[in-house]
Amino acid sequence: MARAYLLYWKRDYAQAINDLQGLPTSVAADPDAALLLAWAYLGAGNYVAAKATAYGVISSDIVTQRGVYEVAGQAAMRMGDAEGALDHFCLALSAGSRSAVAADGIRELCRMRMVPYSSVRRQLTQVYRYSDDPDPVLQLARGLSQLSGYERLERWVRDRAGTVG
C-alpha cells in the first residue's frame, strides 16, 4: 500500500488505482486503503467511482469518516451537484470541524454562487449546533460573509460568537 500512497502523491492516479485494485482482499478491505482508492478515483476524474468507493468505506475512526465525506463532497461538486457537495462538506465538518478540504469546498461553492445563502446558513447552523469546537465554523462563516450574497452571515456569526466561551 505504501507504493500506492507514493503514486497518489506523485499524481499518478491510474497506477495508484491499479496497485490498490491488485492488493489482497484482506488489505484492500482496510478503510485506509479503500479511502485512498476513493481519493485516487477522484484525482483520475472518475467521480462516480470515487463517490461509490468512499460510501463503501466502513470505519468508526473520525478522521476516516471525515475523509469519506470530503471525497463525496469533492465528487459531487465536480459533477455539478452543489447542494450535494454542501451536504457532504458539512458532514465532514461535523465529523471534525477542522476539515480544510470541506472549508475550501464550501468557500468555492459560495465564491461561484452555486449554493444559496439560506442553504449555507442552514447547514452551518447544524454543524455549529453539534460541533465540539465551534470556532472553525465561526471563522469559516466570517470569511464567507465577505462574499457577495453571503453578507448576512456576519450577523449569524455575531449572534453565535456572543454565546461562545
**pLDDT for res 87:** 98
For the chain, percent of residues with pLDDT exceeding 70? 98
Asked if 15 and 38 sit in the same domain, the reply is yes
Residues 129, 66 share a domain: yes
Helix (H, G, I), strand (E, B) or coil at 67: helix
Domain that holds residue 26: 1-58
Distance CA 113, CA 35 (A): 29
- Above 60 in pLDDT, residue 164? no
To 10 degrees, the CA torsion angle through 16, 102, 120, 95?
Answer: 110
Q: Does residue 25 surpass a pLDDT of 60? A: yes
**C-alpha closest to that of 89 among 101, 79, 78, 80:** 101
- Judgement on whether residues 52 and 65 belong to the same structural domain of the protein: no
Mean pLDDT of 16-38: 95
List helix spans (H) across 2-130.
2-9, 13-21, 25-28, 31-44, 47-55, 62-78, 82-94, 100-111, 117-130
Asked if residue 150 and residue 100 are part of one domain, the reply reads: yes
The DSSP element (H or E) to which 46 belongs, if any, is: none
H/E element, 65: helix 62-78
Cα(72)–Cα(90) distance, integer angstroms: 11
pLDDT for the residue numbered 133: 85
Q: How confident is the model at residue 48 (pLDDT cuts 50, 70, 90)?
A: very high
Each residue's pLDDT tens digit, 131-154: 888 899 999 999 999 999 999 999
Identify the three-state secondary structure at position 113: coil
Q: Based on the domain organization, do 3 and 78 belong to the same domain?
A: no
Question: pLDDT tens for residues 60-80?
Answer: 999 999 999 999 999 999 999
Q: How many structural domains comprise the chain? A: 2
Boundary of a domain, candidates 58, 88, 106: 58
Do 122 and 76 share a domain, yes or no? yes
Residues 163 and 131 occupy one common structural domain: yes
Is pLDDT at 104 greater than 70 in this prediction?
yes
Please indicate, yes or no, whether residues 30 and 97 belong to a single structural domain of this protein. no
